[in-house]
Structure 1
Amino acid sequence: MAKWGQGDPRWIVEQRADATNVNNWHWTERDATGWSSDKLKELLMAVRVDGEEGTCEVTEVSKLDGEASINNRKGKLIFFYEWDIKLNWTGISVTGVKYKGHVEIPNLSDENDASEVEIRVSLAKDEPDTNLTALMRKQGALRIREAIAQYISTLKTEFTQGMILPTANGVSHTGVPGIKPKTDVQTAQTNASVTCQTTGVKIPTCKVTLKETFLTSPEELYRVLTRQELVEGFTHAPASLDPTKGGKFQLLGGNVSGEFMDLEPEKRIVMSWRFKSWPAGHHATITLTFTDKGGETELRMEGRGVPQSEEERTKEGWKRYYFDGMKQTFGFGALLL
């Protein structure tokens, strides 16, 4: 365990006086997760179809797991969203018989067009066969795709207000597909943005996944990660944290900071998380999942939105300052040499 002031300089770095995000030169990011959750529920709950067989409508959004964000780099907007959705639907036949079913949308993401999103329609367990299933699979799925397309369109228009700052010549660039530029200069810049995306330079971030087993219970491991004095114990550095939804935290003397997005005791912690050395305003989403292995706990760390240039350093930092630190300090397992 490195002492405070030692170790990787990307984890322990001094405050820079010139770390100013001038004209959005660095990446800036806006979290669209909460807004997207509300918008998707609003649009999907409005889905209703009528046919000769009867009427079907979405009655509940039973699962809505995922995240969304918008990044601005030099006046170009880049959208990220990934959702796993489950819906409940109810159908009423022309004779007045009521049926219940489910809809699964497992791959709503920025990698797929709305027309490519998989939609699985099924009847609930023990429900008898009905022609309403076919109505929901055809017309219902069509309405669901329309709702998804509207969500994507609204995300790229209404939610992006204020994301673009004027450039040196006073011209703002949207970088949003579907918005026609007004001048030849803007046309050239928009085309450059599209070329950049199609050649693979879309989002210079990556997904980081780590897994470690600790010789303790999920309850104790969760407590170690959410109690200030215990966090200071295994990081050997000043820390402050408010382990509630929306609560802020700072670790390693302020070199790591963020906000708790969701906490489920003994099961899951979701954080908006960043290094001080990352581009101003940029956060990754870190999800910690606890799995009880009977006397042991498997902790899985998944980080989305980690800068690609920081991938290996982020992995090494989590291994050293979190995993190895907890094992050394609290005796949760022998370190691998």
Structure 2
Amino acid sequence: MIPGRTERDATSWSKGKLRELLVGITVENEAGHCEVSELKQVEGEASCSSRKGKLIFFYEWNIKLGWKGNVNVSKKKGDGDILKDLMKTAGTAKVREALGDYLKALKTEFTTGMILPTKALSTQELTVKRKPSENTLQAHALSPVALGVRIPTVALHMTELFDTTVEQLYGIFTVKDLVQKFSKAPAVLEAEKGGKFQMFDGNITGEYIELLKNSKIIMKWRCRNWPEEHYATVALNFVPTLGQTELQLDCKGVPVCKEENMKFCWQKQHFEEIKGLLQLPTLNG
């Protein structure tokens, strides 16, 4: 942990709070009535860290809501679409309002330790099944609401000199055997545009966006403990410099609370390990 900084994981608390705020939301008009009946999916992460006397909140969630509805008209074609439109308009507005309440609670309830008891959450999982009458159509649908909550991110720029050629250094990042040697862990690489990769036994995953041989690599890049589907963009530039190679690292989209971890990852687990690999006679032979 960084000196002078504390961090609290709000993920578990947030899942309970989101369920409390979202399940039971109702919207209606003259055509029908809809109710959010359950959280089909709640994936993501939230935390609060104290840094230099300031509180920094980190959150990103991907949520799918299950909802049920009754149409207040006789059965006819298109009644299901009426309910879908109602959820897309009024329903979405209420969901966003509830998310605003969640953020307020994260910044007040959670930080002061007023965490809701977990046993109270079980009642929120119950759903009420209505029996349709003769002139009522009951609709069931899964309504995905992707919450791309904006999270605070930082950009990193690092440079490092290596006693090797650009060809060899480029290969260390794109040849499976060499990646496994410096990372000392299993790796999967598809070194081509759109190809996937896994390094450090799956702790780092991503996708190659662009590869200019012996010159540049651009990747979508994430750590396993980052929020679901959140990627940074990593660009590696290989610059020949007086018999050496300068590696220029530019990284955008790193979650603020993971900044130090990211620096450590590249400095200690990449740069220093690659320099150790370059000293091996088998590599140069």
Could you say which residue in structure 1 is the equivalent of 2:235?
A: 287
Work out whether 1:166 is the aligned partner of 2:184: no
Return the offset for 1:324. 0.3
In the alignment, is the contact (CA less than 8 A) between 1:24 and 1:73 conserved in 2?
A: no
Matches within 5 A, 1:51-90: 73-74=60-61
Work out whether 1:263 is the aligned partner of 2:211: yes
Q: Secondary structure at the match of 1:288?
A: strand
TM-score, structure 2 length as denominator? 0.50
Name the CA distance, whole Å, in 1 between partners of 2:199 and 2:92: 48
Runs (4 or more) in structure 1 with deviation over 6 Å come to 167-172, 190-195
**Which has the larger helix fraction?**
2
Return the offset for 1:185. 4.2
Name the CA distance, whole Å, in 2 between partners of 1:306 and 1:22: 28
**Structure 2 unaligned spans of 5+:** 1-14, 16-38, 46-58, 70-82, 105-148, 281-285
Amino acid at match of 1:257: T
Matches within 5 A, 1:100-139: none
Could you say which residue in structure 1 is the equivalent of 2:273?
A: 325
Q: If you compute each CA radius of gyration, which structure gives the higher value, 1 or 2? A: 2
**Which has the larger strand fraction?**
2
**Structure 1 unaligned spans of 5+:** 1-19, 28-71, 76-163, 173-178, 196-200, 333-337
Amino acid at match of 1:314: M
Deviations 1:254-310 (A, max 9, x none): 111111111001111011111112222222111111112121111111222222111
Deviations 1:40-93 (A, max 9, x none): xxxxxxxxxxxxxxxxxxxxxxxxxxxxxxxx9457xxxxxxxxxxxxxxxxxx
Deviations 1:159-203 (A, max 9, x none): xxxxx733789999xxxxxx98679846745877999xxxxx942
In the alignment, is the contact (CA less than 8 A) between 1:208 and 1:304 conserved in 2?
A: yes
Could you say which residue in structure 2 is the equivalent of 1:230?
A: 178
Amino acid at match of 2:41: N
TM-score, structure 1 length as denominator? 0.43
Work out whether 1:316 is the aligned partner of 2:215: no
Name the CA distance, whole Å, in 2 between partners of 1:203 and 1:253: 27
Deviations 1:99-129 (A, max 9, x none): xxxxxxxxxxxxxxxxxxxxxxxxxxxxxxx
Alignment RMSD: 3.8
Work out whether 1:211 is the aligned partner of 2:159: yes
Percentage of pairs with the same residue? 33
Could you say which residue in structure 2 is the equivalent of 1:246?
A: 194
1:300 to 233, 242, 248: 248
Could you say which residue in structure 2 is the equivalent of 1:23?
A: 41
Could you say which residue in structure 2 is the equivalent of 1:46?
A: none
In the alignment, is the contact (CA less than 8 A) between 1:181 and 1:190 conserved in 2?
A: no
Name the CA distance, whole Å, in 2 between partners of 1:270 and 1:168: 41
Change (3 A) 1:304 1:181: farther
In the alignment, is the contact (CA less than 8 A) between 2:60 and 2:227 conserved in 1?
A: no
Return the offset for 1:225. 1.1
In the alignment, is the contact (CA less than 8 A) between 1:272 and 1:284 conserved in 2?
A: yes
Q: Secondary structure at the match of 1:317?
A: helix
Q: Secondary structure at the match of 1:23?
A: strand
